[in-house]
Amino acid sequence: MSILIDDSTRVLVQGITGSQGRFDTEYCVAYGTNIVAGVTPGRGGQDVNGIPVYNTVKSAVDVSGATASVIYVPAPGIKDAVLEAVDAGIKVIVALTENVPRHDAAIAVAATRAAGAWLIGFNTNGMISPGKSKLGGIGGDRANELYVPGRIGVCSRSGGMSAELSAALAAGGYGVSSCISMGGDPIIGNDMVEYARMFEDDPDTDAMLFYGEPGSENEQGLARALRDGEITKPVVAMVAGVFQESHPAGLSFGHVAAMIRSADDSASAKQKLLSESGAHIAHRLGEISELLKKRLG
């Protein structure tokens, strides 16, 4: 199994006629993703490599039966694109756009939650269930090499580190059930602990691997779930950014949300909290498989 998407997921692409939408769609189709429709207002009736294009998400869903969408829309239009997908009944939405205005992001997140939909992003490179389906640019044309099918659930605040983590798992003899690049913007659709709950319920996920950063309360939420016994499967966590603690508070490095505002936001504090809550802390990529072997054999 996997979480959120598999080989039966019917996917539409909002903004498919743009250069990035076309580029990623080609790789997704080559990987095996079941992309059934595209949407670009005013381009209805066209096609992109044989994929029909519609003017609205509703018309695309009515014809194709799509249940997931990946969105390539600039920041000023991302709120409306997400709301349109929600109104059409889409349940898994991958929004790659970064630096989304916070008011717009808050509205989009509230709408997806009210509809019981999942919003991956903002500022993500996508998600993948290896050997089944991928949404967004994750893995590029090397997805088969980087993301080996297996039984470890991966969730990362960094899109680039999703590939590094998954490659490290493969090098250690493990593979990935699903990998989520959750997004690096200050306001994102779902928290780390929500993905942990899905992995906890997935019978084909034996353990979880998380990549954290300074800033946000994602790691704190995961720690609470571990302490409360809500998450019982082994958790390995890697929290980068200790160097940031030598710089003045209020500066972001990399992702805009990776900002230390208080001592609890630091990588060191999160490492300590997660360790005390039962997670196994990896300080180097090579330690990940070693820690998993201690728990899984």
CA distances from 129 to 32, 56, 176, 295 (A): 11, 27, 8, 23
Q: Look at the block and give the residue holding tokens 């890697």.
A: 238
In 3-state terms, what secondary structure has residue 211?
strand
Q: Look at the block and give the residue holding tokens 């805009």.
A: 256
Q: Tell whether the torsion through CA atoms of 18, 19, 22 and 27 is positive or negative.
A: negative
Distance of CA 261 to the CA centre of its chain: 24
Query: What is the 3-state secondary structure of 92-144?
Result: EEEECCCCCCHHHHHHHHHHHHHCCCEEECCCCCCEEECCCEEECCCCHHHHH
Known active-site residue 280: no
- Residues 6 or more apart whose CB falls under 8 angstroms from that of 190 comprise 118, 119, 120, 182
In 3-state terms, what secondary structure has residue 155?
strand
Compute how many other C-beta atoms are within 10 angstroms of the C-beta atom of residue 285.
16
Among 247, 255, 280, 283, the one annotated catalytic: 255
Catalytic residues: 255
